[in-house]
């Protein structure tokens, strides 16, 4: 009696945790726990664009819809500001909701994919192994997706709603297409077929107006057709209508904002529309991405040493060992996907159904990963070669391939199935803890930037960002070393000079020896060709003061000299040159500088001479005593 009661309790427990509703609730719970500590993460990096910047009225016009490439996401930011102002909670709640809904759609989509395979190949619903796959694979894929720490950049980073929203709409479009496509072969009214078809088109259109990664949607629909259906693709009216309309959207969105043109002008516009930067050639970008995608795979397998802003090398040769090795890995994975597809066809048509399903899904997952990566990791050069949020959509394919492979290992063995459930739960718990820890870093702006600085110490904009953060917190002493490092790494960026000017200006002891260079720069009128030269001289003078503050007299003097060379009439630089020369006991330079200063600003020359006399007296005193 006791044994039967235990078995009955076990069966009820198994039934409770073996339903789709329970799985979805667990997935949602994992996502909420992973990101609950991210809801008050402050504005970071480019978040100000979404949270604080005003978006023009063009958003609310037909012209804005056509001309603004990421119109739909921008609309959501505008609505967030209308409802919550600049309070980050509202923005984070929206981002988290999108992430949770994406995980749910992944679960439903993969269940529908397996159900479609069962219909296409007339697989019986009584097969225990197939039933297991239909629950395990969707759950494992969605659960790994929702709690993996690599997703934090797409979810916690407010501005990357561009990625997460486009992904949610992308997935919703695929699910709607499958529901419409399956309905064509059933006894369902045509109205329902075209309703799902319209939902597919609308979601796809909004995805393309959220971020350009959605441009691969027509190709992904082709992949689903080939993987799941046995009919002739070109006779599918639903597919032809959707594909034709969506393919027209892509060139319209790319070219319209640049205007119209003919011949070479039009080709140039297409070239500009498919290159976010001109600093990296298409060939170098493609070679670099061959290696970058391996880094993405490593992050998905082992999410350690995550970085907000990677300092990644640009590769220039296919025969560079890391690039060539990465290429071999990609070729082997694509060949594996092809072999799995061919073998799955044999299994599905010969009756070996569980193995056929897992092979087909693993093949589809690999193809999904590479197709979803193709917009940002191919020959379209982007200024930053690597960002973790770019793996958000492709990771669905990766997790699908992993879950299908795991399920295939336990096709007919109940003991292995139970072990896989336990393994997935444990991995998800580890990932959830890692995501919580990663969000803890995001929640502190200084900790976040210090984390990036430790991992990318030679990236100029990272040093500049750290310096400006300290400056905004009225900590100029801590800001200066980082601002100088940014200039040393990238001296050609004017904004870096502005930040340095602002920081040295608020240190009171230098007020009489520097100018508010950034203020002067903001007043520059482009029509006056001399103004940039004057501003540059002021900036060299201020940089010299910074080096003097950091006890580097040689570099201080070097920059004072650059200042007077650029603009011989800058009195402050002559004054500072005299003072630093006095500290170095260079009497001839002191005399020459004071003489020049006397003609420019006699009063400042007198003040400098007094300081130099005091400096000399203090040196004599220290020598005597």
- pLDDT, tens digit, for every residue of 107-131? 999 999 999 888 888 766 556 777 7
Name which of 148, 153, 99 is nearest 431 in CA terms.
148
Q: Does position 522 have pLDDT exceeding 90, yes or no?
A: no
User: What's the CA gap between 323 and 438, in Å, rounded?
Assistant: 29
Q: Does position 620 have pLDDT exceeding 90, yes or no?
A: no
Q: Which long-range contacts (CB under 8 A, 24 or more apart) does 570-573 make?
A: 570/534, 570/537, 570/538, 570/541, 571/597, 571/600, 571/601, 571/604, 572/513, 572/514, 572/515, 572/538, 572/541, 572/604, 573/537, 573/540, 573/541, 573/544
- pLDDT, tens digit, for every residue of 35-71? 999 999 998 888 877 777 655 555 666 666 666 788 8
Domains annotated for the chain, with CATH where assigned, are 22-442 (no CATH), 458-624 (1.25.40.10)
Q: Does position 224 have pLDDT exceeding 70, yes or no?
A: yes
Which pLDDT score, from 0 to 100, does residue 252 have?
64
* Average pLDDT of the residues in 452-474: 90
pLDDT band at 617 (very low <50, low <70, confident <90, very high): low
Secondary structure (3-state) at 464? helix
Q: Range with the lowest mean pLDDT among 87-96, 180-189, 380-389? A: 180-189
pLDDT band at 15 (very low <50, low <70, confident <90, very high): very low
Which pLDDT score, from 0 to 100, does residue 493 have?
82
CB 543, CB 499: distance < 8 Å? no
- pLDDT, tens digit, for every residue of 574-586? 998 999 999 888 8
Question: Within its chain, how far is the Cα of 33 from the centroid?
Answer: 22
Q: Does position 18 have pLDDT exceeding 80, yes or no?
A: no
pTM of the model: 0.87
pLDDT band at 12 (very low <50, low <70, confident <90, very high): very low
Which is more confidently placed, 237 or 219?
219
Q: Does position 528 have pLDDT exceeding 50, yes or no?
A: no
- pLDDT, tens digit, for every residue of 325-359? 999 999 999 999 999 999 999 888 887 778 889 99
**The tokens of 373 are what?**
């990566």
Q: b/e map of 520-532 (b: 16 or more CB within 10 Å)?
A: ebeeeeeeeeeee
SS3 content of the chain, % helix, strand, coil (to 5): 80, 0, 20
CB 113, CB 224: distance < 8 Å? yes
CB 56, CB 78: distance < 8 Å? no
Question: Which of 54-68, 281-295, 469-483 is most confident?
Answer: 281-295
Q: Does position 546 have pLDDT exceeding 60, yes or no?
A: yes
Which pLDDT score, from 0 to 100, does residue 525 have?
40
pLDDT band at 621 (very low <50, low <70, confident <90, very high): very low
Name which of 210, 164, 385, 217 is nearest 296 in CA terms.
385
Question: Which of 151-165, 180-194, 247-261 is most confident?
Answer: 151-165
Q: Does position 229 have pLDDT exceeding 50, yes or no?
A: yes
Q: How far is CA 237 from CA 184, 194, 196, 245, 359, in A?
A: 10, 11, 14, 12, 29
Q: Does position 273 have pLDDT exceeding 70, yes or no?
A: no
User: What's the CA gap between 470 and 597, in Å, rounded?
Assistant: 35
Q: Does position 295 have pLDDT exceeding 80, yes or no?
A: yes
Which pLDDT score, from 0 to 100, does residue 608 have?
85
Which pLDDT score, from 0 to 100, does residue 506 have?
75
Which is more confidently placed, 482 or 62?
482
Name which of 51, 450, 374, 34 is nearest 213 in CA terms.
374
- pLDDT, tens digit, for every residue of 485-510? 998 898 888 788 877 777 777 776 77
φ/ψ region of 320 (left if φ > 0, alpha if ψ in -120 to 50, else beta) reads beta
- pLDDT, tens digit, for every residue of 405-459? 999 887 667 777 888 888 999 999 999 999 999 999 999 888 999 999 999 999 9
pLDDT band at 10 (very low <50, low <70, confident <90, very high): very low
Which pLDDT score, from 0 to 100, does residue 505 have?
73
User: What's the CA gap between 45 and 94, in Å, rounded?
Assistant: 19
Q: Does position 542 have pLDDT exceeding 90, yes or no?
A: no
Which pLDDT score, from 0 to 100, does residue 134 have?
86
CB 390, CB 299: distance < 8 Å? no
Which is more confidently placed, 193 or 616?
193
Which is more confidently placed, 503 or 395?
395
pLDDT band at 369 (very low <50, low <70, confident <90, very high): very high
Task: Please state, for a pLDDT cut of 90, what percent of the chain lies above it.
Answer: 46
């Amino acid at each position: 009696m006791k044994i039967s009661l235990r078995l009955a309790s076990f069966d009820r427990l198994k039934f409770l945790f073996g339903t789709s509703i329970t799985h979805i609730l667990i997935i949602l719970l994992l996502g909420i726990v992973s990101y609950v500590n991210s809801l008050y993460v402050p504005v970071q990096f480019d978040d100000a664009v979404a949270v604080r910047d005003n978006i023009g009225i063009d958003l609310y016009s037909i012209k804005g819809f056509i001309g603004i490439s990421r119109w739909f996401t921008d609309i959501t930011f505008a609505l967030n500001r209308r409802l919550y102002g600049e309070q980050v909670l509202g923005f984070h709640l929206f981002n988290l909701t999108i992430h949770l809904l994406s995980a749910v759609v992944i679960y439903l989509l993969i269940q529908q994919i397996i159900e479609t395979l069962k219909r296409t190949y007339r697989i019986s619903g009584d097969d225990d192994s197939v039933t297991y796959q239909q629950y395990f694979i969707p759950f494992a894929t969605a659960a790994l997706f929702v709690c993996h720490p690599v997703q934090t950049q797409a979810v916690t980073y407010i501005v990357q709603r561009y990625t997460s929203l486009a992904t949610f709409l992308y997935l919703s479009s695929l699910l709607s297409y499958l529901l419409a496509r399956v309905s064509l072969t059933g006894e369902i009214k045509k109205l329902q077929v075209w309703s799902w078809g319209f939902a597919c088109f609308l979601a796809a259109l909004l995805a393309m107006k959220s971020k350009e990664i959605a441009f691969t949607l027509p190709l992904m629909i082709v992949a689903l057709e080939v993987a799941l259906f046995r009919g002739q693709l070109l006779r599918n009216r639903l597919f032809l209508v959707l594909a034709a309309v969506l393919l027209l959207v892509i060139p319209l969105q790319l070219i319209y904002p640049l205007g119209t043109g003919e011949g070479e002008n039009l080709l140039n516009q297409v070239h500009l529309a498919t290159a976010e930067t001109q600093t990296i050639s298409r060939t170098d970008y493609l070679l670099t991405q061959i290696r970058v995608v391996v880094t993405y795979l490593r992050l998905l397998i082992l999410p350690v040493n995550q970085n907000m802003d990677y300092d990644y090398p640009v590769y220039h040769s296919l025969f560079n060992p890391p690039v060539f090795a990465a290429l071999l890995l990609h070729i082997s994975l694509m060949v594996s996907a092809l072999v799995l597809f061919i073998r799955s066809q044999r299994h599905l048509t010969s009756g070996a159904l569980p193995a056929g399903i897992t092979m087909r899904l693993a093949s589809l997952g690999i193809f999904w990963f590479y197709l979803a990566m193709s917009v940002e990791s191919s020959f379209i050069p982007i200024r930053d070669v690597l960002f973790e949020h770019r793996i958000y959509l492709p990771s669905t394919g990766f997790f699908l391939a992993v879950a299908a492979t795991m399920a295939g290992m336990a096709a007919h063995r109940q003991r292995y199935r139970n072990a896989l459930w336990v393994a997935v739960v444990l991995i998800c718990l580890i990932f959830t803890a890692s995501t919580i820890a990663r969000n803890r870093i995001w929640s502190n702006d200084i900790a976040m930037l210090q984390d990036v600085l430790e991992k990318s110490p030679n990236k100029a904009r990272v040093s500049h960002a750290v310096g400006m953060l300290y400056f905004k917190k009225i900590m100029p002493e801590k800001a200066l070393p980082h601002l100088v490092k940014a200039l040393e790494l990238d001296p050609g960026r004017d904004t870096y000079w502005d930040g340095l000017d602002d920081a040295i200006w608020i240190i009171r002891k230098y007020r009489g020896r520097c100018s508010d260079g950034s203020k002067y720069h903001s007043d520059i009128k482009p029509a006056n060709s001399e103004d940039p030269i004057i501003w540059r001289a002021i900036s060299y003078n201020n940089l010299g003061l910074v080096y003097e503050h950091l006890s580097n007299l040689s570099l201080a003097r070097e920059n004072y000299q650059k200042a007077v060379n650029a603009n011989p009439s800058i009195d402050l630089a002559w004054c500072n040159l005299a003072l630093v020369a006095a500290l170095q006991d260079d009497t001839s330079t002191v005399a020459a500088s004071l003489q020049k200063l006397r003609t420019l600003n006699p009063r400042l020359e007198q003040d400098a001479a007094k300081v130099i006399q005091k400096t000399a007296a203090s040196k004599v005193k220290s020598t005597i005593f």
